[in-house]
């Protein structure tokens, strides 16, 4: 069960009385009856007391059955009353369907409401069939009452009105079923992590051309230790390094070992072929390697290349 709220029509309980019910938010009304409506004083008092506020338009029980024009009219009136009490234009207003009906019967009304407020500020109050239809129509803020629901709760309802009253019958209990249930102040989304930009590199640079490498002979190649932004490693160069080798005169293999402070690694065999072009070996980026030993079975030419991170 989510945060407890109460919706209040004509009663005007004190902040202390509201909090004594266990409520952390209050639903209040816009309507054609000034004695029922939310006031600017309530908006200020609720916020100062740390109580959330939900607004709902409610007139006659069958009003939502009266079509598109009724929806446009009610949305405009509700929006004017919203401005009159000082609520921002991000406010969500629920519109009440106070009868046992289905979505098809009230869809035109809500199309009228949406034409004024847009979907992001339009909420729907009603029984199960109305809430299900509103959800299918893409509306997010859905306040389901236990009435006309047959004991079935929609999992996507943002508020539930389960029955039960408070304040001597002057208020109904509700529960918020989502972090954002259309309340004021509007919830603030948590800050999103800023993605780390990919490193930008300067132009690739050939650092050293190797002399011809004879077959069946060890050749030790000093390399500037490679590194990255997070493991700079190699002296002035903090970008990746590669060893590029190309077969000359025939196909064969090359054994490659790398020397670190712990000694030489076991040789790794790589095929080198005339048709395959150069073999490119990425050197470790932690700055641990200072010499690479290659032992080819055919003559090789090669070079060491790298990039500096800008």
User: Which CATH fold would you assign to the domain 205-306?
Assistant: Hypothetical Protein Tm1070; Chain: A (2.60.290)
Q: CA 136, CA 109: separation in Å to the nearest integer?
A: 16
In the three-class reduction of DSSP (H, G, I as helix; E, B as strand; rest coil), residue 134 is classed as helix
User: Which segment of 17-21, 90-94, 229-233 scores lowest on mean pLDDT?
Assistant: 229-233
Task: Provide the mean pLDDT of the chain.
Answer: 89
Q: Measuring CA to CA, how many Å separate 235 from each of 57, 127, 259, 281?
A: 69, 70, 17, 20
Domain boundaries of the chain, sorted by first residue: 4-176, 205-306
Q: CA 57, CA 251: separation in Å to the nearest integer?
A: 82
User: Which segment of 21-35, 66-80, 236-250 scores lowest on mean pLDDT?
Assistant: 236-250
Are 234 and 308 in contact by the 8 Å Cβ rule? The answer is: no
Q: CA 121, CA 4: separation in Å to the nearest integer?
A: 22
Q: Provide φ and ψ at 215, rounded to 5°.
A: -70, 150
CATH of the structural domain 4-176, one choice from 3.40.50.2300, 3.30.300.20, 3.20.20.80, 3.40.640.10: 3.20.20.80
Output the pLDDT for position 229: 46
Record the pTM.
0.64
Instruction: Give the HSE-up count for residue 308: Cα atoms under 13 Å, Cβ half-sphere.
Output: 10
* Residue 70 CB partners (closer than 8 Å, separation 6+): 63, 64, 109, 112
pLDDT tens for each residue of 156-175: 999 999 999 999 999 999 99
Output the pLDDT for position 240: 72
The string of DSSP letters for 193-261 reads PPPPPPPPB---EEEEEPPPBPTT--EEEE-PPP--SSS--STT--S-EEEEEEE-SS-EEEEEEEEET
Question: Residue 232: which pLDDT band, with cuts at 50, 70 and 90?
Answer: very low
pLDDT tens for each residue of 132-151: 999 999 999 999 999 999 99
């Amino acid at each position: 069960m989510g945060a407890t709220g109460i919706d209040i029509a004509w009663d005007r309980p004190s902040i202390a009385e509201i909090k004594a019910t266990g409520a952390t938010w209050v639903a209040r009304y816009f309507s054609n009856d000034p004695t029922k409506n939310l006031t600017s004083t309530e908006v200020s008092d609720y916020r100062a007391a740390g109580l959330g506020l939900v607004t709902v338009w409610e007139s006659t029980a069958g009003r939502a059955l009266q079509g598109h024009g009724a929806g446009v009219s009610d949305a405009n009136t509700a929006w004017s009353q919203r401005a009159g009490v000082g609520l921002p234009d991000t406010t969500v207003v629920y519109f009440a369907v106070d009868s046992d009906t289905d979505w098809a019967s009230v869809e035109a009304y809500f199309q009228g409401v949406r034409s004024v407020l847009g979907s992001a500020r339009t909420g729907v109050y009603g029984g199960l069939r109305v809430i299900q239809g509103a959800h299918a129509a893409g509306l997010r803020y859905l306040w389901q009452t236990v009435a006309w629901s047959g004991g079935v709760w929609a999992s996507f309802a943002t508020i539930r009105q389960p029955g039960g009253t408070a304040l001597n019958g002057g208020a109904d209990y509700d529960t918020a079923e989502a972090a954002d249930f259309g309340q004021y102040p509007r919830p603030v989304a948590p800050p999103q992590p800023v993605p780390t930009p990919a490193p930008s590199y300067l132009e690739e640079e050939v650092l050293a051309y190797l002399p011809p490498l004879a077959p069946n002979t060890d050749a030790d190649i000093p390399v500037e230790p490679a590194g990255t932004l997070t493991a700079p490693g190699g002296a002035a160069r903090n970008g990746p390094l590669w060893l590029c080798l190309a077969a000359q005169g025939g196909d064969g293999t090359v054994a490659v070992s790398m020397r670190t402070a712990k000694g030489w690694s076991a040789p790794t065999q790589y095929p080198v072929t005339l048709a395959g072009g150069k073999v490119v070996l990425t050197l470790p980026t932690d700055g641990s390697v200072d010499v690479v030993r290659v032992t080819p079975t055919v003559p090789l030419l090669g070079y060491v290349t790298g990039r500096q991170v800008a």
